[in-house]
Copies of this chain bind each other. A is one copy, B any other.
Amino acid sequence: MDAITVFCPATIANISCGFDVLGLALDSVGDRMTVRKIPQREIRIAPIIGQDLPTDPMKNVAGVAGMALLEAASYTGGFHLEIDKRIKAGSGIGSSAASASGVVWAMNELLGKPFSAHELVGFAMAGEKLASGVAHADNVAPALYGGFTLIRSYSPLDIIRIDAPEELTASIIHPQIEIKTADSRKILKTTFALEDGIKQWGNLGGLIAGLYTRDYDLIGRCLEDYIIEPIRSILIPGFNQVKKEAVKAGALGCGISGSGPSIFALSKGRKTAEAVGRAMGTCYDGTGIAYDLHISGINPQGVRAIKES
C-alpha cells in the first residue's frame, strides 16, 4: 500500500465535569486526508482545501506531527499529504487534532503499523503543541482511540478508552465568533472551592459509571460543570439560552466543547439530537451570529481508512 485516504474525526474535549481529562470522537464530522509515500525523506503538503493554512510542514500541525513520527520510524522515505480541511480552525471541536491524528494514523498504516495507538498520541501531541503552545492530548486521544477517552495522567501518559453507549448522539452548534484557546485558558481561576470540587469529581465518577452501564439518565445527571463552565461561558454569547433550549428539547446535557465557542449537547437517539440541534440553532436565529450545526453519533474507532491504494 502506497497511499491511503483517511477520515479524521472532529472531537469534543472537556466534556462538562471532565475538564482536561474526558473527550469523545465524532462519527460524521471531520477532515479527509490523503497520505502517499514518496522516496524523499521529507513531508510535502499540497494542496490544502477548505482552509487557508500554511503548507510549510514545520508551520503546519499535520507536518509537525508527521515529522515526529518520521523521526521515530525506520523508514528512509517521506510522505506527501493532501488535506481536505472541513473542520473550521478555532471552532472548539478539535480542528488541529484531526490533522495531527489523521496524518500519524495514516503514516502508521502505510508503514505496516510499527507504532501503538499510545505512541501515535505522542506524535500527534507534537502537532497540538504547534497549534496551541501546549502538547495536550484532550482531542488527539479520542481522535485516535475513538469512543470516549479519559486521560488519567500526562506523566506518564495514561489513556483509558471507554465505549460510548450506542444511542448516544451529539448535537454541536458552532457560533461563528472567535475565542482563542489561550484567552479562554487565561480567564480560568487557578484555585477553586473544595465544595465545588467534590461535586465535580462526584459527577465525573458518575459519568464514567453511566458510560459503562449505558445508563443514559445517569449520564445526563452527571453532565454538569461547576468549575469551568460558569467562567468560560461568559465568552460565548447566548450560552445559557442555548443550554436551556437544548435541555428543554430533550438533551441529556449540554456544555462547552473544548474551550468553545462550539456548544455540544448529548442526547439519546438521533431524532432527539436533531430536535435539540434545531432548538440550539433557534437561539442564534435573528441575532446576526452565523452558525454551523452538526448532528453526529459517537465514532467507535477514531481515524479510519476511506480508500487504500
Which residues of A are at the interface with B, using a C-beta cutoff of 8 A? Answer: 17-22, 150-153, 158, 160, 162, 188-195, 197-209, 212-213, 218, 221-222, 227
Contacts and interface: CB of A to CB of B under 8 A. Distances in A.
B194 A190 contact: yes
Contacts of A213: 212
Contact of A209 (B153, B203, B208, B222): B208
A208 B18 CA distance: 14
5 contacts: A18-B201, A152-B203, A200-B201, A201-B201, A208-B212
A197 B195 CA distance: 12
Given A21-B201, A150-B206, A158-B206, 11 more contacts: A17-B201, A18-B205, A20-B202, A21-B205, A153-B199, A160-B209, A192-B197, A197-B197, A205-B207, A208-B212, A212-B212
Most-contacted residue by chain B among A192, A209, A213 (CB, 10 A): A209
A305 B152 CA distance: 40
Interface hub of A150, A194, A227 (most chain B Cβ within 10 A): A194
A151 B191 contact: no
Contact of A204 (B20, B201, B212): B201
A208 B150 CA distance: 11
A193 B194 contact: no
Given A197-B227, A212-B212, A221-B158, A150 B189 contact: no
Residue among A18, A160, A199 with max Cβ neighbours from chain B (10 Å): A160
Given A201-B17, A205-B18, A209-B208, A221 B188 contact: no
A205 B152 contact: yes
Contacts of A20: 198, 202
Contacts of A151: 202
Contact of A206 (B160, B209, B212, B222): B160
Q: Which of A162, A206, A207 has the most CB of B within 10 A?
A: A206
Given A212-B212, A221-B158, A152 B202 contact: yes
